[in-house]
Chains A and B, each alone.
Chain A
Amino acid sequence: RKEVEQDPGPFNVPEGATVAFNCTYSNSASQSFFWYRQDCRKEPKLLMSVYSSGNEDGRFTAQLNRASQYISLLIRDSKLSDSATYLCVAYSGSARQLTFGSGTQLTVLP
């Protein structure tokens, strides 16, 4: 079993749609969680951190459920520019290690 598992995708959605990505992690020692975004042939970039209380950044909402070891990302009012691969990431401080999920590809269609 992979340490971080994501919806395989791909997701193809029309502009303006709401799309949700899910992720589960198996290492209960993981301390911090993040969503990274990676555009084609570019480097990953931090999209947002994920907290148990939930956090929102504009059209993006992330949520962490430690009991279920589950992370989510909700994108509202999708834009063409949201097309990218979204990577769920768990961080273990003791190992100083970021563990990436396999990524979910999103294409927003006009």
Chain B
Amino acid sequence: DTEVTQTPKHLVMGMTNKKSLKCEQHMGHRAMYWYKQKAKKPPELMFVYSYEKLSINESVPSRFSPECPNSSLLNLHLHALQPEDSALYLCASSQEGRGQGVAFFGQGTRLTVV
């Protein structure tokens, strides 16, 4: 099973809403990532979790709040977003040790903030 599953696939939310994006992998990977991708741009790193601990926060606004409940799950909680936060949000996972850097991406959540 080399799959990273993200839900929902599409999300439309208002600026006052609270929503959560979910990501799940069962490959035993201990590094998990959130990326944001705007149209015709490369993915931009938001957060890195290593062994369920937040190891990198790339100066992401506090309206994005990550959570790693266990080694298989990664959430991104959204609150009071702005229209410019509309983007494709990608979750990825990779092994620690040998295989580092080989990331498996989920299909992404296409988020529209209205």
Which of A's residues lie within 8 Å of B, judged by CB? 31-32, 34, 42-46, 49, 87, 89, 91, 93, 95-103
Contact = CB atoms under 8 A, between A and B. Distances in A.
Name the residue in B44, B56, B101 with the highest tally of chain A Cβ atoms < 10 Å from its Cβ.
B101
Contacts of A31: 100-101
Contact of B100 (A46, A93, A100, A101): A93
Main secondary structure of the interface of A (DSSP, over half): strand
A48 to B, nearest CB: 10
Contacts of A49: 101-102
Interface in B62-114: 90, 92, 100-108
Contact of B101 (A32, A44, A87, A101): A32
Contacts of A46: 102-104
A89 B106 CA distance: 17
Contact of A98 (B41, B50, B101, B107): B101
B79 to A, nearest CB: 25
Interface centre among A32, A96, A100 (most CB of B within 10 A): A96
